[in-house]
Amino acid sequence: MPYITVGKENSGNIDLYYEDHGSGKPMVLIHGYPLNGASWEKQLTHLLAAGHRVVTYDRRGFGKSSQPTSGYDVDTFTEDLHKIIVQLELKEFTLAGFSMGCGEVARYFGKYGSKGVRKAIFISGIPPFLLKTSDNPEGVDKSVFEGIEKGIVKDRFAFFGDFFKNFYNTDVLMPKQVSEQVVQASWNVAAGSSATASLACVATWLEDFRKDLTKVDVPTLVIHGDADRILPISATGLRTAKLIPGARQVVIKDGPHCITWTHSEEVNRELVSFLG
């Protein structure tokens, strides 16, 4: 299995598991919380068939990557992403994020600029800024995130069980658009993640990406479901599209948070069209 070393913790390396498939213009797919790179399986086949080179990886603390007890902040996550891009010598690449992964996409532009980046894609993204503040009244009260942290500390396995109900809107879309087995498989991946990462990542959801988004100067696609219960479109996708000049916005009707699975045909069609 291929790994890229991005750091050390005491006597051990911090290694990120990645997969690199296909040929053509490369794109890097960055997964959401609390999943791994394999969560892009509905997109992988279509992107490869359309002639793209596709790189997926597991964020530190998740999937087959190392599970250190440090480095769970947006800047470090973005540095990890940059190390993968440099190591694989990617050029003219597209950055595509899902949910929390969109934070790395935004911060990449803020931290490294757009050199070498061909296009950007935000799917069910966390930007621009979730936390409610005096200059961000559309945000969510901090007590909500404190409640999430308490739930994870008390019993993260039970938390994941409730989380995925709203991740897929199971009360509405099961079993026609998402099966019980898919939800269970997602829970299994989440359960295998680092307990430290499961908790520490919550704080990264409060990051302010507004300035980062102003640095996005490549063709951009923003896709979001209008029934997203995890990251409501009014606080996220709609605002992100407005902050990026010329961004193409696609709203998936009745789409939950994980539109990459439940509405994969629509998402894949938009991705292939946008990538050209």
User: Domain boundaries in the chain?
Assistant: 3-275
pLDDT at 1 over 80: no
DSSP state of 11: T
- pLDDT tens for residues 96-115? 999 999 999 999 999 999 99
**pTM for the predicted model, two decimal places:** 0.97
228 given a catalytic annotation: yes
Pick the catalytic residue: 186, 198, 228, 263?
Answer: 228
pLDDT value, residue 76: 98
Q: Can you give the pLDDT at residue 245?
A: 92
Question: What average pLDDT does the segment 80-97 reach?
Answer: 98
Residue pLDDT, tens place only, 12-59: 999 999 999 999 999 999 999 999 999 999 999 999 999 999 999 999
Is 133 buried (19+), middle (13-18) or exposed (0-12) by CB count in 10 A?
A: exposed
Q: In what order do the strands lie in the sheet with 220-225?
A: 3-9, 12-21, 53-57, 26-30, 93-98, 117-123, 220-225, 248-252
Of 99, 193, 194, 198, catalytic: 99
Kindly report, residue by residue over 62-73, the tens digit of the pLDDT: 999 999 999 999
Whether domain 3-275 has CATH 3.40.50.1820: yes
99 is a catalytic site residue: yes
pLDDT-derived band at 198 (thresholds 50, 70, 90) equals: very high
